Amino acid sequence: MKFQKQFVQSVRLYFKEEGEAWLQELPGIIHYCEQKWSMKMEKPYRLSINYVAPAKLRNGKEIVVKICIPGADFLNELESLRLFKNQGIVNVLDYEIEKGIIILEKLAPGYTLAEIEDDETACYLAAQVVRRLSFPAPRNTRIQTTRAREEVLRDTVNRNEKGYGPLSQHVLVNALSIFAKLNKTIAQYKLLHGDFHHYNVLASEQGNWVAIDPKGLIGEVEYDLIQFLLNRLPDKGVYEVTKKRIEILTNELNLNLERFFLWGYCHAVLATVWTVEGMSYNSCFYRMISIFERLYFEYYGIEIGCYVD
Ligand SMILES: Nc1ncnc2c1ncn2[C@@H]1O[C@H](COP(=O)(O)OP(=O)(O)O)[C@@H](O)[C@H]1O
Ligand SMILES: [Mg+2]
């Protein structure tokens, strides 16, 4: 069985030996799914680190099968899908924990928010989905808070005294201090999607838009929207587009503007760290750091770092 080249490379990079072993097992798991649910699996979608493919049941019903390495990420995704049930998230039809399998309702027509030409329209649609995803933080859960993200950044700062990739030590330390202060001052904890961006929001029937692929996280809604702000940006006019996006999302969802900018700055730094660690350093994320600095200065008349002074 031949898999997409990029998928194989990403699985190896991200999961190392465990990924290699899983890739060997994958044809067997696909066969297992076809037997267990009496279905025929079709050509997979464009893959990153999970195997996702449409499939047809014997009765003709179309579904989607997602096969993941059955570790922490998979369990978090499954738990968030269950917690968000019927609230703007794709429906789970069945699952099998041991083998990392989730059977999902197939969303049709299934194109993503990234295919909406007009950026402002995409923002309004995103706001509608996030409003539906609004859910208080559960008490007993394996899902981590945004403190865990702060710890990832702290680890990078501690291990790289001279900066990391394009990030200077000053920016890393600044972002970490702001991250820590924000985490200490969260007023209302919510269950977050954890990877909310254009490509994880799909068109469903009757003009409904639905989120897929939650990573699960607990924190402030403002934080959950940053990954959306980092995606689908034009080559020119990024500052103006970002400002407009923030204006729409803040008004639609009644967000705290200052904390939105601050989370934006911190997460843009963290997202840059991730891309330096991964296969391709993403200058789009890096460039957003200065956009959040500029926005903060424009609105509050002080440097973003002054927030922690
Ligand atoms: N329920 C679904 N209905 C239709 N298409 C889907 C569904 N779930 C996933 N897809 C398609 O598969 C792609 C990858 O799925 P996703 O869950 O986002 O995987 P990953 O965790 O690798 O990002 C999506 O971008 C989308 O095109
Ligand atoms: Mg995805």
240-264: pLDDT as tens digits: 999 999 999 999 999 999 999 999 9
- Residue count of the chain: 309
Q: What is the pLDDT of residue 309?
A: 85
Establish whether residue 213 lines the binding site of ligand 1, counting it when its CB lies within 6 angstroms of any ligand atom.
yes
Comparing C-alpha atoms, which of 26, 17, 201 is closest to residue 100?
A: 26
DSSP state of 61: -
| Confidence class for position 281, pLDDT limits 50, 70, 90 | confident
Instruction: Decide: 269 and 280 in contact? Cβ < 8 Å.
Output: no
Nearest CA to ligand 1 atom 17: 213
Q: How far apart are CA 253 and CA 250, in angstroms?
A: 5
271 pLDDT higher than 80: yes
Q: What is the CA(91)–ligand 1 centre distance, in A?
A: 13
- Give 303 Cα–ligand 2 centroid separation in angstroms: 35
On whether the CB atoms of residues 79 and 143 are closer than 8 A, the answer is yes
103-120 average pLDDT score: 97
What is the pLDDT, as a whole number, of residue 217? Answer: 98
pLDDT at 272: 96
Q: Which ligand is the nearest neighbour of the Cα of 213? A: 1
Q: Is the CB of 45 under 6 A from ligand 1?
A: yes
70 prior amide bond cis, ω within 30: no
Residue 277 has pLDDT above 90, yes or no: no
**% of residues, the chain, pLDDT over 90:** 95
- Residues 76-97 have a mean pLDDT of 97
pLDDT at position 207 is 85
In angstroms, the CA 21 to CA 153 distance is 30
Q: Is the pLDDT of residue 279 over 70?
A: no
Q: For residue 39, report the distance from its CA to the centre of ligand 1, in Å.
A: 18
Report which DSSP code applies to 233: -
**Ligand located closest to 44 CA:** 1
Give the nearest ligand 1 atom to 44 CA.
Answer: 12
Per-residue pLDDT tens over the stretch 126-154: 999 999 998 899 999 999 999 999 999 99
User: Of the ranges 101-105, 208-212, 282-286, which one carries the lowest mean pLDDT score?
Assistant: 282-286
**C-beta 80 within 6 A of ligand 1:** no
Q: What is the mean pLDDT of the segment spanning 201-223?
A: 96
Q: What is the mean pLDDT of the chain?
A: 96
Pocket test for ligand 1, best of 14, 111, 212 (most atoms within 8 A of CB): 212
Mutate to test the pocket of ligand 1, among 66, 105, 112, 193 (most ligand atoms within 8 A of CB): 66
The minimum-distance atom of ligand 1 relative to the CA of 195 is: 23
| pLDDT cut 70: percent of the chain above it | 100
Query: Confidence band (pLDDT; 50, 70, 90) for 83?
Result: very high
Residue-level pLDDT at 164: 96
**Which residue CA neighbors atom 13 of ligand 1 most closely?**
45
Testing ligand 1's pocket by substitution, the residue of 52, 80, 84, 202 carrying the most ligand atoms inside 8 A of its CB is: 52
Q: How far is the centre of ligand 1, averaged over its atoms, from the C-alpha of 199 (Å)?
A: 8
Q: Which of 213, 222, 181 is nearest to 84 (CA)?
A: 213
Tell me if 287 sits within 8 A of 238, measured CB to CB: yes
DSSP codes joined into one string, 6-28 = HHHHHHHHHHHHHHHHHHHHHHH
Q: Is the pLDDT of residue 282 over 90?
A: no
pLDDT, residue 246, reads: 98
Q: Which amino acid is at 16?
A: K
Each residue's pLDDT tens digit, 152-169: 999 999 999 999 999 999
Residue with tokens 């967000």: 255
Domains and CATH numbers, the chain: 5-105 (3.30.200), 113-308 (3.90.1200.10)
Q: Provide mean pLDDT across the span 69-91.
A: 96
Confidence check: pLDDT of 206 > 90? no
CA distance 154 to 46: 33
